[in-house]
Chain A
């Protein structure tokens, strides 16, 4: 009697299994051969590029050779590999073949297909984080394999409520996407929104979790990112413990988490490893440097074009003498310098590392000095533009530093049109834009607007851990208490 295999909606005769595998044999790396036995033949099919030859040769073929007349069920029990299954649906078989499984099919009777995991794991090993390097604290970073990443997270949150929901996204890439959250702490509404958005993604090739980041964002027309991407597992552990949701994708070393607000972009994870006073000062320096980076060049344009009388008499000779040979109006000067710096940055990102350092020095020093001597720009502006370029990199999240880089150009144009008033108007437009942004439905500027006094504690200044007794209320978690503050140490009187 001929067995049948379920091919989606069609049933197919089992004897034409090699027919089906012929389709896959169009690829040169699909190996399919017939292992002859006394009672029939065994068809073995696998992708050479996806499987580990050791597993195949030693365990599977070894079993088959030493037990020539073994039936499928006994073979299933005998093979010493943990992940194996029996499948009858062609879709399942195909999916598993693409994940590195080996398909073993007995001919002759109606047998299901046995799938054995022989996947080869090739990829980077866990190394130091490159972008979010911290001096203190663990130095493990995510790699491209989802299983290794989940291992790094689970190690840090060995809690029974840590749930991982796996989805498949992308019609061609069929990526495994894992949504990590702590059940009972995360708000259900945010979680459902996140999962719905991921499931609703219609795209063919998802190469990185940052593509997912852009597709599940609230407002994709805004230059401000509404999710944070990180490569540190300790940051992810902190985030899920606070009530945020983390999304990881197989093949991507970046973990994306949401919901976020604007102030979280100025927090490095190193803040939590340093004492609170130092960490707070560093945060303040970062915020100041971002403001400086955005406003320095536009203020230069505004003051030099319209409000020259506003510069005090002490300063005036220096500034005027530095600009005395420059034939351009201030705005052209600023735009030239900004474009040169952007050029240097873009070129430096693509240069091979051996030439990169030399060109960096050449570009930085020689170009700068030469520009001043060629009277393309003034000394004063050079310092301002270089400092503001540096300052834009103090934001620890890379996407935000790209935003800050771009943000100053509308301000420069506004300053050219109406000077200081133009800068004010542009600031209002920026504030209005930030007020309208949401991240998974949470307003972007919380806790400053809507004003929540109880949540101001970890925003600009990081207080000591004894004050962290409840989670942020804007994450709307069902368990907002971290620890009971009444159990904290009682204050002692002098000499008590």
Chain B
């Protein structure tokens, strides 16, 4: 089956791997290890695997829905629920993506404000980043995926884990399987926000060349994200005592303090600045997807809708003042993401299956 867009705007199925792992592995990985470890202690790695498995099932469901209907989510909403209810659901997705974009951008700016430039005000950096993202998005979906491919450079920072390796306390990992399943599930619940990002598949389905072939690449992307998060959780468990963790806001950035090169004294300048590699792909997609929904719903050009979304995100970012508000936004997004993946998605799947059965019978 071929995609419904013109061939020169489509991407090959392999690039879905690059795209999905860029969407999933966002900059929230810096702070994701504190809460699960508070719940599940040294068995958090089991929660990671559990969560990864759940998302595997989620991707499976997404592909079933999309393959049966052959169109992306706005079209599915329109078909399943009619014009008005579908429009409301599309609008909710627009708001969801704009919120994610604002949160990611503000999170990143806070990191820069704490680690690099203490006197930096929020709005100039937000403005420049949004202008950069606008330039990328105006190039089309292919350019966005190209930026995701370029941001794969960030995996070089895994080598930064070699330096604290001498300080690891492998004893922290035992005793294994000490916690009840309930606690593990709770920890897994707090991990859904970092794993979220697969809903991007809903909106780019028509831009993939041979969509059914891309399914296995999406699974590999999820596997890569699971392995990366496993490494992160293991690193946090091995390096920190559980009592130290509530004092660390961004445990992952602390690893840059261990790096010693003969000619670089403070490596965390490079480490903190390189967080941009995690943020830009998500920002680009979360600006592109709402404009595409606007185009499909209202018929306006994407380039016309972009400046409005730009202004909305900019105001939202400037209105989030401090660290507590960022955490509040993250909690809210965590809840929304959880219900999206574990409530709305199965519901959509069941509706899709019923419709197919009805169509076959009729």
Contact surface of A with B, Cβ cutoff 8 Å: 306-307, 309-315, 418-421, 423-425, 428-429, 431-433, 435-436, 443, 445, 448-451
State in angstroms the CA–CA spacing of A312 and B266 once bound together: 8
Tell yes or no: B298 within 8 A of A by CB: no
Tell yes or no: B183 within 8 A of A by CB: no
* A312 and B139 contacting across the interface, CB-CB below 8 Å: no
Give 6 CB contacts A-B under 8 Å.
A312-B263, A421-B117, A428-B136, A428-B280, A431-B146, A432-B135
* B263 and A432 contacting across the interface, CB-CB below 8 Å: no
List B contacts of A425 (CB < 8 A): 128-129, 132, 276
Task: Say yes or no: A435-B261 contact (C-beta < 8 A), given A310-B266, A450-B12, A451-B149.
Answer: no
Interface of A is mostly: helix
> Which of B142, B147, B265, B273 interacts with A424 by CB under 8 Å?
B273
Task: Say yes or no: A310-B132 contact (C-beta < 8 A), given A425-B276, A435-B146, A450-B12.
Answer: no
* B132 and A424 contacting across the interface, CB-CB below 8 Å: no
| Smallest Cβ-Cβ distance to A441: which chain B residue | B8
State in angstroms the CA–CA spacing of A423 and B277 once bound together: 12
List A contacts of B140 (CB < 8 A): 436
| Smallest Cβ-Cβ distance to B129: which chain A residue | A425
A291 CB, min distance to chain B CBs, angstroms: 13
List B contacts of A433 (CB < 8 A): 135
Task: Say yes or no: A310-B150 contact (C-beta < 8 A), given A432-B143, A450-B15.
Answer: no
List B contacts of A313 (CB < 8 A): 265
> Which of A307, A314, A421, A450 interacts with B263 by CB under 8 Å?
A314
State in angstroms the CA–CA spacing of A52 and B267 once bound together: 74
Tell yes or no: B112 within 8 A of A by CB: yes
* B269 and A431 contacting across the interface, CB-CB below 8 Å: no
* A432 and B147 contacting across the interface, CB-CB below 8 Å: yes
B253 CB, min distance to chain A CBs, angstroms: 14
List B contacts of A436 (CB < 8 A): 139-140, 143
Task: Say yes or no: A309-B266 contact (C-beta < 8 A), given A421-B116, A450-B11.
Answer: yes
> Which of A420, A432, A450 interacts with B136 by CB under 8 Å?
A432
Tell yes or no: B274 within 8 A of A by CB: yes
Tell yes or no: B175 within 8 A of A by CB: no
* A420 and B143 contacting across the interface, CB-CB below 8 Å: no
* A315 and B135 contacting across the interface, CB-CB below 8 Å: no
State in angstroms the CA–CA spacing of A445 and B139 once bound together: 14
B129 CB, min distance to chain A CBs, angstroms: 7
* A435 and B147 contacting across the interface, CB-CB below 8 Å: yes
List B contacts of A310 (CB < 8 A): 264-267, 269-270
* B147 and A431 contacting across the interface, CB-CB below 8 Å: yes
A189 CB, min distance to chain B CBs, angstroms: 11
Interface of B is mostly: helix
* A428 and B147 contacting across the interface, CB-CB below 8 Å: yes
Instruction: Give the number of chain B interface residues (Cβ < 8 Å).
Output: 36
Tell yes or no: B30 within 8 A of A by CB: no
State in angstroms the CA–CA spacing of A449 and B15 once bound together: 9
B160 CB, min distance to chain A CBs, angstroms: 15
Extra pairs beyond A312-B262, A421-B273, A423-B273 (14, CB < 8 Å): A309-B266, A310-B267, A310-B269, A312-B261, A315-B263, A418-B117, A424-B273, A425-B129, A428-B147, A428-B276, A432-B136, A436-B140, A436-B143, A449-B149
Task: Say yes or no: A429-B132 contact (C-beta < 8 A), given A420-B273, A436-B139.
Answer: yes
* A420 and B263 contacting across the interface, CB-CB below 8 Å: no
List B contacts of A428 (CB < 8 A): 132, 136, 147, 150, 276, 280
Which of B125, B129, B150, B264 has the most chain A CB within a 10 Å cutoff? B150
* A309 and B265 contacting across the interface, CB-CB below 8 Å: yes
List A contacts of B277 (CB < 8 A): 424
* A311 and B276 contacting across the interface, CB-CB below 8 Å: no
B105 CB, min distance to chain A CBs, angstroms: 13
State in angstroms the CA–CA spacing of A419 and B266 once bound together: 14
Tell yes or no: B258 within 8 A of A by CB: no
Which of A313, A424, A429, A449 has the most chain B CB within a 10 Å cutoff? A449
List A contacts of B266 (CB < 8 A): 307, 309-310
Contact surface of B with A, Cβ cutoff 8 Å: 11-12, 14-15, 112, 116-117, 125, 128-129, 132, 135-136, 139-140, 142-143, 145-147, 149-150, 261-267, 269-270, 273-274, 276-277, 280
Which of A311, A423, A450 has the most chain B CB within a 10 Å cutoff? A450
State in angstroms the CA–CA spacing of A469 and B280 once bound together: 39
> Which of B112, B116, B139 interacts with A435 by CB under 8 Å?
B139
A47 CB, min distance to chain B CBs, angstroms: 50
> Which of B15, B125, B264, B267 interacts with A418 by CB under 8 Å?
B125
Task: Say yes or no: A421-B276 contact (C-beta < 8 A), given A314-B263, A449-B149, A451-B15.
Answer: yes
* B273 and A449 contacting across the interface, CB-CB below 8 Å: no
| Smallest Cβ-Cβ distance to B14: which chain A residue | A451
* B264 and A435 contacting across the interface, CB-CB below 8 Å: no
* A424 and B139 contacting across the interface, CB-CB below 8 Å: no
* B264 and A424 contacting across the interface, CB-CB below 8 Å: no
* B128 and A420 contacting across the interface, CB-CB below 8 Å: no
B268 CB, min distance to chain A CBs, angstroms: 9
State in angstroms the CA–CA spacing of A315 and B132 once bound together: 35
A221 CB, min distance to chain B CBs, angstroms: 13
State in angstroms the CA–CA spacing of A428 and B148 once bound together: 11
* A435 and B273 contacting across the interface, CB-CB below 8 Å: no
> Which of B128, B139, B262 interacts with A432 by CB under 8 Å?
B139
State in angstroms the CA–CA spacing of A450 and B208 once bound together: 13
State in angstroms the CA–CA spacing of A495 and B106 once bound together: 68
List A contacts of B147 (CB < 8 A): 428, 431-432, 435
State in angstroms the CA–CA spacing of A428 and B12 once bound together: 22
B232 CB, min distance to chain A CBs, angstroms: 22
State in angstroms the CA–CA spacing of A435 and B129 once bound together: 18
State in angstroms the CA–CA spacing of A431 and B147 once bound together: 7
* A420 and B135 contacting across the interface, CB-CB below 8 Å: no
Which of A307, A313, A314, A423 has the most chain B CB within a 10 Å cutoff? A307
Q: Which 4 residue pairs are nearest across A and B when measured between Cβ atoms?
A: A435-B146, A436-B139, A420-B273, A432-B136
A200 CB, min distance to chain B CBs, angstroms: 21
State in angstroms the CA–CA spacing of A436 and B145 once bound together: 12
State in angstroms the CA–CA spacing of A447 and B142 once bound together: 14
Which of A306, A310, A311, A445 has the most chain B CB within a 10 Å cutoff? A310
A352 CB, min distance to chain B CBs, angstroms: 45
* A311 and B146 contacting across the interface, CB-CB below 8 Å: no
| Smallest Cβ-Cβ distance to B262: which chain A residue | A312
State in angstroms the CA–CA spacing of A406 and B149 once bound together: 26
List A contacts of B269 (CB < 8 A): 307, 310, 419-420
B161 CB, min distance to chain A CBs, angstroms: 21
| Smallest Cβ-Cβ distance to B131: which chain A residue | A429
* B276 and A445 contacting across the interface, CB-CB below 8 Å: no
| Smallest Cβ-Cβ distance to A438: which chain B residue | B8
State in angstroms the CA–CA spacing of A431 and B136 once bound together: 9
| Smallest Cβ-Cβ distance to B209: which chain A residue | A450
B292 CB, min distance to chain A CBs, angstroms: 18
List B contacts of A315 (CB < 8 A): 263
Which of B136, B261, B267, B274 has the most chain A CB within a 10 Å cutoff? B136
B260 CB, min distance to chain A CBs, angstroms: 9
List B contacts of A451 (CB < 8 A): 12, 14-15, 149
State in angstroms the CA–CA spacing of A101 and B218 once bound together: 70
A218 CB, min distance to chain B CBs, angstroms: 13
A39 CB, min distance to chain B CBs, angstroms: 69
A191 CB, min distance to chain B CBs, angstroms: 18
* B276 and A435 contacting across the interface, CB-CB below 8 Å: no
State in angstroms the CA–CA spacing of A393 and B270 once bound together: 29
List B contacts of A314 (CB < 8 A): 262-263
State in angstroms the CA–CA spacing of A420 and B132 once bound together: 16
List A contacts of B150 (CB < 8 A): 428, 431, 449
* B265 and A311 contacting across the interface, CB-CB below 8 Å: yes
List B contacts of A432 (CB < 8 A): 132, 135-136, 139, 143, 146-147
